[in-house]
Every structure is written in structure tokens, then in C-alpha cells.
Amino acid sequence: MSLRPLTTPWFHGPAGHEKIWLGCAILWCFVMSLMMPYWHFRGKQNSTGEAYTVKPADFFARTEKFVASNRVGTFKNPIANALMTELPIVEPPAGGDAYLMGRMWQWYPALRLRKGETYRLHLSSLDLQHGFSLQPLNMNFQVLPGYDHVLTLTPTSTGEFTIVCNEFCGAGHHAMTGKIFVE
Amino acid sequence: MSHPSHSLSAPGAPGRVCGTTGLSVCFAAQRFIKLNAVSGIVFLLLGGIAALLLALTRWQTVHLLPVDWFYRILTFHGINMLILWILFFEVAILYFACTTPLNCRLFSRKIAWASFGMMLTGAVMVDYIILAGRADVMMTSYLPLLAHPLFYLGIILVAVGTLTGVFNFFATLYVAKRDGAYTGSMPIVTFGALAAAIIAVVTLLHGAVVMIPTFTYSMGWTAQPDPAWYRLIWWGLGHQSQQVNVCAMVAVWYLLSHITVGARPINEAVCRTAFVLYILFINLASAHHLLVDPGVGATWKIWNTSYAMYLAVLASMIHGFTVPAGVELAMREKGYTNGIFGWVTALPWRNPAFSGTALSLVIFGFLGGITGVTLGTQQINIIAHNTLRIPGHFHVTVVGGTTLAFMALAYYVIPLIFQRDFIFRGVARVQPWLFGIGITMVAFGMSFAGSMGVPRRSWDIDAQGVYGPAAHLWLGVLGMGGILAFTGLLIFALLCVGTLFFGAKIEGRAMADWGTPPALAGSQPGSLAHDHYATKGTIVLTLAFLACFAVYYFANWKALADVWPVR
Ligand code: HEM
Ligand SMILES: [Cu+2]
């Protein structure tokens, strides 16, 4: 009985249907446990959490240097009340490093990438936490101030992609966007 | 006067005998069950009003609140629901589970007052400072976002108050055992509550570790804690507290399936082992909130979410079988033996405590469990983190699961503890359905919009120019489900409060029956105790569940395989 103390011996091993279910459930948990290491070695999409500590001012300097030496154009931002109405478009060398900085409320700069090339994309924040959410692909990563979060990324489709912020960062959060163009 | 016995059957013990169940009720426990439960319901109503405003804002076509109030009300909703409603109600459940089932009295009235006083003071402080606009930081208050110090102080007070209540629970159990208030092993309901209480202690200690330095930082006394460290420890609080809720909810399932259809656990040893698995493994599962965070490695993420978390998942899959199996067995013993599912149609679907329990189990298991495990898979999290899929998941666990189970419980707690019969009983019978269907719509709307990339915690989805008509449609489903769920919630709160004032008094007599299935002629209680293959319906249902789980799980791997390669 569920509501009164048990006074008769109650220890029994599982039997019958219960045993069948227990077996299925354990097996399923085992399959799920194996899927993650399997994908880690065989799958192409993984979050390894590669990161280095960095002072926001240093990350800002690296980004500015990256923009100055790789700028290829200008993007006119159509978003109302965005922090910047114009963004530099920057193309990192294939296989090279790209820097993307989040701050209230802008992803900076805009990037131009080549399909099939691999880049090391450095993400960090100058102020609060932000969320890197690449749309319409729907790939999401956390961005923290003080951490240089490195994604080794290979675009496999072309077009215009929008980076949305998906970690709350104040009143302009919904308008915090950025751009990645893939050719 | 001699040393008072803690047993309630001792002469002169401060309690009464329940006119419905024949169990003894301790007066002190009764008073604090009342205080905590009523406070919980008040916070549920506050959080519910906020919920309606949020649903009507995320419904992009309506877009009700201005931007600053949206984030303020979102903070308010998270705190009042997830922390205040749930914690106050859980303390009430703990006080019940350690007294009546064991036939003993509450350890200390003073401690119960201290606990309640701290919790209430903290709650008022937090709510005040949020509504004053000085803490627009979401309930997670991720650093470097910074709230007014009263926000952190209020949360610390609520946590310490809760811990004090939990201490009272442990002390009651200890004294009951020491004085021999009961013989044998504690019943499963108390055992489940004990598991919840143990996890609560670990959880609240994490809360202290993270909130105290954040509070001192907000006062300007110490340096800012590291944001990544904050996330790690905060989720030791934020996730584990969900396991407290799961434990409490499962204990309520066992309790209500027993009261409404006479179910008993089909195997006490297995059910109890499952509770122990929760205690041992759930703390590691907090890792699934950091799956796409910088600075935590793949091995750490995989270890904590696989081996560790899946043993807790196993525990839920065990309860998901044993609870309906107990119900099926009880129904078959009562003579409802037609086919595989004949017993299902004979269940008391018009008894709100039963329908609430059944809906809670189905919504929690089929929707909450499947989505939770899938989203918490290390790599799949890449296509889910911080999208609306996340609130889509937890509105079918802690709302459709825990909250609905607690509502179901109130349909017995109020008559048995407050000793008044419910007013408008016909309305009460539809309430769980309204709330359950509404919140399921909310969760579907959120989950589908989230798979289209719509972020959580975002006031607007038009500014970015990337979300099309389908996303807007699903946000409409969220909005309409929100109205239904809010109506269900409001009815619940009004019925409870109305009953406290206007319900017919039941002193010395039995409460009005909500409806329980009668035993058919010729049936025999206990006749199937040794038939291990009698639960045919349950095994079919659980295998169907497993099939849905596998389909959803692998469909998500497929979706992941379609996005850009990333390491
Ligand atoms: C009438 C029922 C409810 C409705 C319509 C509702 C609706 C919502 C909506 C629209 C959001 C905002 C999602 C976003 O934009 O990110 C939300 C967030 C949330 N809700 Fe509910 N909710 C309800 C009940 C509950 C209950 C009972 C609980 C807890 C026991 C709860 C816990 C939460 C939490 C923790 C959040 C996240 C807050 C945050 O992001 O900081 N909700 N809810
Ligand atoms: Cu942001």
C-alpha cells in the first residue's frame, strides 16, 4: 500500500512484463549513450568547447586588426535601431581565422566565406553573454565575455545567413543581428 | 507530564482522525500544509497572469507588452512559477509525507514558522524588486547582467527558508523512527518525498555557492565571479531543482493513483531503486545546459549526459511503467478485464485528481521525457540551444507534469486538510483537461517555432527578417494554447480559494466522493498479486512510447546531419 508503512517483506526481483520493460529501457539508454561518442568520432557536427581566456579589450583589438587587413566591402544594415547602420564585410583567408564580436546590440563585422572551405571562427563578447544563432540553419552556440570560443566551421551551402542573438542581453536583444555571406 | 510521544495514536496527541481515510492528522502539520499550499497557489496565480501576458506577446500578431515589460514579466513569471509556486507547494507535500503516513507529529512548529517566514519575506522581496524594474535579468541572472541586491538576497532567503523546512522534514522522520511511531518500512510516498528532500539539500547548497558571491558582488564588496563558473554552478541549482520536482511529482502519482483507483506499486523494490537512481545521478545531468558552451570539453559533456544522465532517465522510464501498471493491476483485480485496454475506459476520468494524474503522466512521459532526453544529447543541442524548443520542453515537464500533478493533489488536500468540500464540482472535473490541453498546445507551438530557429526570451521575431509565416503560425498556436491554459489555471486558483471560504464544512464525516471505480461482483482484491503478465495494456503502451522516442530521437540526428560541419 502506498500510504501506510510496509510491514511484510517487500523485496522481489523484477519479473514478467516488468522485467521485459526494464530490459528494453536499459538497452535503449545504452544505445543513446553510445550515439554520442560515435558521433564525436564519425559525425561532422560537434561542440568541442574549444576556448581560450581573453580580455574583452584584447579581443576587440584582434577583431579590429582582422577587419583592417581583410575588409572587402560594406553592408548596409536594414534593421531599425541596430547599433551600426553600416558593417564592414570581411573575408578571412581560406583555412584562416575569422573574428566575430558580440556586443549590445550588434554582431561585428559581417563575414564573407567560401563554400567548402574551413575557417576558425573566434566568438567572444565585449559586455554581456550573447547567443550565436545562425539562421536559417539553426546552429546555436553560447558566447561569453572573457572567453574566445573557437568554432572550426565549414560552410556547405551558399547564400545570405543571419546571426540572431539568442541569449537575453537587454532591451535591444531582439534587434541584435549579424551577417554571413557564403559564395 | 511525561516525555510526549511522537506517535499520533498516543493519548492526548495534538491531532485528529480523518473522517474519510481513518488516518491521523497532526494539527501542526495541518496548519503548515495549509499555509504553504495556499501561498503556493497565490504565487501560481501571479505567475499565471504573467504567463498570459507573455503568451499574448510572443503571439507575434498580438504582440501585447512593450519591450521592457516583456523582459520584466518574463523574469517575474520564471521566478513565481519555477521557484515560488513549486517550492511552497513542495514544502506542504513534505510536511504531509512525514506525518500522516507515518502516524506521527511534526518535529517543530517553531522551525516551520521560521521556514515559512523566511520564504515569504524572500518571495515578497524578489517580486517587489522585479516589478520595480530593478531586476530585468531573467530568473537565471547570468553574469555580467546585474540586478539590485534585494533580488539575490530574496532568492537566498527563499532558499534558506526551504532548507529549514526540509530540515524539519528530516527531523520528523528521524524522531518517528527513533520513537517507533511506526513499524516496518516507510511507504513509497514518504520514500519518494525523502528522495526529493535529499536532492533539494544538494541543490540548495549549489544555490548558496553561486548566489552568495553574486550578492556580495552586487553590493560592491567583492569582484565579479566568472560568467562560465556562474553558469556551471547555477545549473547545479537550476537543473537539480527540476529533479526535486520530478521526485515530488512521481510521489504524487503513487499517492493519487492509490487514492483514486486503489493502485499499489507492482514492485516496491524496483520503484524504490528508481528513486535512489535519481539521487545518485541527477546532479551530473546539469551538464546538459552547457553543451554548446566554451571552455567545457567534449569528454566532460558526453560523460555527464550519457552514463550519468541516462541512469536517471532509466529511473523515470521505470516509474513510467510501474505507475500505470499499478493502476492496470488494480482495475483488473476489480473485475475490469476486457481485452487489453478495457480497464482504460472504466477509469474515473471525471475525477479531477485522477484525470490530472493521468494527463500529468502522459504529458510528462510522452512529450517532456522524449524531448528532454533528445535536446540534452550533446551534439543535438547545437540545433536546439536557447531556441523556443527549450521552453517547449519544460512546459511539458514542470507545467504539464509537475504543476498538473500538484493541482490534482489539491482536489484531495483541500477536502482532507482544510476539511471543506469543493465548490462547483462540475467545473473542477473539466479543469485538468483545460489546463492539460492548453499547455500541450503551448509546448507544441514553442517546439515547432523553435525548430524553425525562433529564439526563446525574445520580444520580437520580425526585426531579424528571417522568420516566415510557419513560425508565426506556431507562435499563434502558443498564444491560443496560452489562453486555454491560463483559463484552466485561473479556474483552479478560484476554485481553491473559493472553497476555503465557501466550501461545505466536513468535520467528522467523509469528503464528497469524486468518483472511484467500484469493484465488480465476483472480483477479488489481491487476486493478481502473483501474475507477472497481467499488465498487458501497460506493456503495449510503454513499448509504443519507446517507438515514438526512437523515431523522434533519430529524426533529430538526421536534422543535425544536415547543418554545416563544425568542431
Ligand atoms: C498558463 C500556463 C503557462 C503559460 C501560457 C506559459 C507561457 C510561457 C511563455 C510564453 C514563456 C516565455 C517563453 C520565452 O519567450 O522564452 C514562458 C517562460 C517560462 N515559463 Fe511558462 N507558462 C505557463 C506556466 C508555467 C508554469 C506553471 C511554470 C513552472 C512551474 C512555468 C515556467 C516557465 C519558465 C521557467 C520560463 C522561462 C523563463 C525564462 O526564460 O527565464 N510556466 N512561459
Ligand atoms: Cu545579445
DSSP B415-455: IIII-BPPSSHHHHHHHHHHHHHHHHHHHHHHHHHHHTTPB
**C-alpha cell, B181:** 511511531
- Mean pLDDT for the stretch of residues B473-480: 97
- Mean pLDDT for the stretch of residues B522-527: 84
- Mean pLDDT for the stretch of residues A131-157: 95
- Mean pLDDT for the stretch of residues A84-105: 92
> Considering only CA atoms, which of B333, B407, B370, B357 is closest in space to residue B254?
B357
**C-alpha cell, A130:** 550573447
How many contacts (CB atoms, under 8 Å) link A and B?
309
Find the B447 Cα to ligand 1 centroid distance in Å: 13
Q: Is the pLDDT of residue B456 over 80?
A: yes
Q: Which chain B residues have a beta carbon less than 8 Å from that of A40?
A: 298, 302, 378-379
CA–CA distance, B491 with B487 (Å, rounded to integer) = 6
Q: Which chain B residues have a beta carbon less than 8 Å from that of A164?
A: 453, 455, 464, 466
- Mean pLDDT for the stretch of residues B112-123: 97
Which residue out of B74, B139, B395 has the highest number of ligand 1 atoms within 8 Å of its CB and is therefore the one to mutate? B395
Q: Are A49 and B296 inside 8 Å of each other by CB?
A: yes
- Mean pLDDT for the stretch of residues B206-228: 92
Band of the pLDDT at B1, cuts 50, 70, 90?
very low
**C-alpha cell, B500:** 476555503
Beta carbons within 8 Å of B522's beta carbon, 6+ residues apart: B335
Residue A143's φ and ψ, nearest 5 degrees, are -125, 125
- Kindly list the domain boundaries of chain B, sorted by start residue: 23-186, 348-507
Q: What is the DSSP letter of B283?
A: G
Closest-CA residue, ligand 1 atom 37, reads: B78
pLDDT, position B326: 92
CA distances from B540 to B341, B373, B374, B544 (A): 10, 22, 22, 6
pLDDT, position B172: 94
Question: Please, are residues B484 and B443 in contact by the beta-carbon 8 Å criterion?
Answer: no
Please name the member of B298, B456, B565 whose beta carbon is closest to the beta carbon of A154: B565
Quote the distance between the C-alpha of residue A97 and its chain's center.
Answer: 17
CA–CA distance, A106 with A126 (Å, rounded to integer) = 11
Find the B229 Cα to ligand 1 centroid distance in Å: 26
Band of the pLDDT at B5, cuts 50, 70, 90?
low
Q: Are B535 and A164 inside 8 Å of each other by CB?
A: no
Let me know if B31 is exposed, middle or buried by CB neighbors in 10 A (0-12, 13-18, 19+): middle
Q: Which chain A residues have a beta carbon less than 8 Å from that of B384?
A: 140
Please name the member of B258, B292, B456 whose beta carbon is closest to the beta carbon of A47: B292
* Mean pLDDT over the full length of chain B: 91
Q: Does B24 touch chain A (CB under 8 A)?
A: no
CA–CA distance, B3 with B504 (Å, rounded to integer) = 38
pLDDT, position A148: 95
pLDDT, position B15: 82
> Considering only CA atoms, which of A175, A101, A87 is closest in space to residue A144?
A101
Question: Please, are residues B450 and B387 in contact by the beta-carbon 8 Å criterion?
Answer: yes
Closest-CA residue, ligand 1 atom 7, reads: B51
pLDDT, position B285: 63
Q: What is the 3-state secondary structure (H, E, C) of B369-422?
A: HHHHHHHCCCCHHHHCCCECHHHHHHHHHHHHHHHHHHHHHHHHHHHHHHCECC
Let me know if B23 is exposed, middle or buried by CB neighbors in 10 A (0-12, 13-18, 19+): middle
Q: Which chain B residues have a beta carbon less than 8 Å from that of A12?
A: 267-269
CA–CA distance, A48 with A31 (Å, rounded to integer) = 21
Q: Map out the domains of chain A with their CATH numbers.
A: 51-182 (2.60.40.420)
Residue of B nearest to A161 (CA): B466
CA distances from B243 to B200, B246, B278, B303 (A): 8, 5, 7, 19
- Mean pLDDT for the stretch of residues B107-122: 96
Beta-bridge partners for A165: A132
Closest-CA residue, ligand 1 atom 3, reads: B51
Band of the pLDDT at A147, cuts 50, 70, 90?
very high
pLDDT, position B11: 62
* Mean pLDDT over the full length of chain A: 91
Please name the member of A20, A28, A45 whose beta carbon is closest to the beta carbon of B539: A20
Q: Is the pLDDT of residue B235 over 70?
A: yes
For residue range A17-37, list pLDDT tens digits in order.
889 999 999 999 989 988 988
CA distances from B528 to B187, B202, B330 (A): 21, 40, 9
Place of cell 485538468: B432
Please name the member of B67, B266, B534 whose beta carbon is closest to the beta carbon of A171: B67
Amino acid at the residue A90: V
- Pick the ligand that lies closest to the CA of residue B458: 1
Closest-CA residue, ligand 1 atom 19, reads: B78
Q: Is the pLDDT of residue B3 over 50?
A: no
Using only C-alpha atoms, chain A has a radius of gyration, in whole angstroms, of: 24
For residue range B355-401, list pLDDT tens digits in order.
999 999 999 988 998 999 899 888 999 999 999 999 999 999 999 99
Q: List the 305-344 stretch of B: residues with Cβ below 8 A of A.
A: 305-307, 310-311, 313-314, 317-318, 321-322, 325
For residue range A67-93, list pLDDT tens digits in order.
999 999 999 887 766 677 889 999 999
Closest-CA residue, ligand 1 atom 36, reads: B78
- Pick the ligand that lies closest to the CA of residue B79: 1
**C-alpha cell, B529:** 498479486
Q: Which chain A residues have a beta carbon less than 8 Å from that of B461?
A: 174
Given the DSSP bridges, would you call strands A147-153 and A177-182 parallel, antiparallel or unpaired?
Answer: unpaired
Q: Does B281 touch chain A (CB under 8 A)?
A: no
Residue of B nearest to A19 (CA): B532
CA–CA distance, B27 with B6 (Å, rounded to integer) = 13
Min Cα distance A25 → chain B (Å) is: 6
End-to-end CA distance of chain A: 68
